[in-house]
Amino acid sequence: MAEKNRSIGIKSSEITPKQAYLSRRDFIKAAGVVAGSLTLASCAPASLQAASLPTPANPSLASKTDELGGQVNAFEDITGYNNYYEFTTDKAGVAPLAAKFKTTPWDVEVYGMVNKPKTYALEDLIRLFQPEDRIYRLRCVEAWSMVIPWQGFPLSKLLKEVEPNSDAKFVRFETITRPEEMPGLKNMLYPWPYQEGLRLDEAMNDLTLLATGMYGGELPAQSGGGLRLVVPWKYGFKSIKAVIKIELVSEPPATMWSEIAPNEYGFYSNVNPQVDHPRWSQASERRIGELNRRETLMFNGYAEQVAHLYDGMDLKINY
């Protein structure tokens, strides 16, 4: 499909910064420049560069790959190119706006159809569940992807703690709203708060992670700190950031994107190269930092772990 057709539906205000951003990254890669800072050397004093370039807690993770051989993305890509509409719809604009967002202390309330509802402090979750390293692909519905080294624990561990009762069939997640710190909340086009949902068996799958850290350090605000859901076989918007509420419910919960455009964003939103978005193809994707497009894989390459969850379902209907 022609480039212009793939871009249909993305607001022009989003296209310009994205393309500018990508072309800069491509230039760095294509020129074979090892350190990105070299290209900045002529335009800023060293002290300013050091302050403005984010650094990962564990830079050696940059040399790792996911289980399919995909290179972990640069920390500056992961923390500089974000979808986080509570701040702004400008992907490069999220990081500066999120810089002052406080991610500690952080509490999450787990409640609803459970025997033991409880509000947990993030540090208690970390102590209880001992986050592990997980390198996951993130495939955005806009057809770009990244490889991200998370630290986190399976959501199933937390759900087992609160003991869902027999009426619990779905899980609803809700993002914090802090209007004074999140200027995007003024945009009334979106039905805040950001909400997402999973079926209980999807939530219990071992791949489903609650991320508490990234690149060996704390979870940056723009990446969804204090606590962020990561569901790697679904489009990126299911991986809800800054989670403060987790509710066990009996019916499929409303989700922000399916409220806005139910014909475009279904409850499942599994990555599926055979089911196109009504306005663009989902057959291929642009890996941030790479020049050539990649074929998109069924369930984002996690079919072995999750395809059984959808046995007998028509994924064209349950998109």
237 binds Mo ion (CB under 5 A): yes
270 near ligand MTE, rule: CB under 6 A = no
Number of residues that bind Mo ion (CB under 5 A): 5
The C-alpha atoms of residue 112 and residue 218 are separated, in whole angstroms, by 29
Which of residues 74 and 113 has its CB atom nearest to ligand MTE in the complex?
74
Residues 7-46: x where in contact with ligand MTE by CB under 6 A, - otherwise, as a string: ----------------------------------------
Answer with the entry of Mo ion, ligand MTE, none that 223 interacts with (C-beta below 5 to 8 A by kind).
ligand MTE
Task: Tell me the CA distances in angstroms from 45 to 49, 147, 215, 227, one per residue in order.
Answer: 6, 31, 27, 35
Among 147, 209, 240, 248, binds ligand MTE (CB under 6 A): 240
Q: Rounded to an integer, what distance in angstroms lies between the CA atom of residue 127 and that of residue 153?
A: 11
Q: What is the CA radius of gyration of the chain?
A: 19
> Does 83 engage in binding with ligand MTE (CB under 6 A)?
yes
Residue 144 CB, shortest distance to ligand MTE, in Å, is 8
Answer yes or no whether residue 146 interacts with Mo ion by CB under 5 A. no
Looking at the chain, how many residues does it have? 319
Residue in the block written with tokens 């990234």:
214
> What is the total count of residues that contact ligand MTE (CB under 6 A)?
17
For 171, the token pair is: 């899980």
Q: Does 267 bind Mo ion (CB under 5 A)?
A: no
Residue 306 CA to residue 279 CA, distance in Å, equals 27
Asked if 227 is part of the footprint of ligand MTE (rule: CB under 6 A), the reply reads no
Angle, CA 258 vertex, CA 254 and CA 260 arms, to 5°:
110
Peptide bond into 193 cis (omega under 30): yes
Q: CA nearest 161: which of 206, 122, 111, 228?
A: 111
Residue 236 found at the interface with Mo ion (CB under 5 A): yes
Please choose, out of 156-164, 196-204, 216-224, 231-239, the segment that lies near Mo ion by the rule CB under 5 A.
231-239
Q: Does position 134 bind ligand MTE by CB under 6 A?
A: no
In this structure, the number of other CB atoms found within 10 A of the CB of residue 175 comes to 24
Tell me the residue nearest to ligand MTE as measured from the CB: 236
The span from the CA of 168 to the CA of 319, in Å, is 22
The reply to whether 85 sits near ligand MTE by the rule CB under 6 A is: yes
**Does the protein bind ligand MTE through residue 236 (CB under 6 A)?**
yes
3 state DSSP class of 196: strand
Q: Is residue 265 a contact point for ligand MTE (CB under 6 A)?
A: no
Which parts of this chain interact with Mo ion (CB under 5 A)? 83, 140-141, 236-237
Contacting residues toward ligand MTE, per CB under 6 A: 82-86, 138, 140, 146, 175, 194, 223, 236-237, 239-242
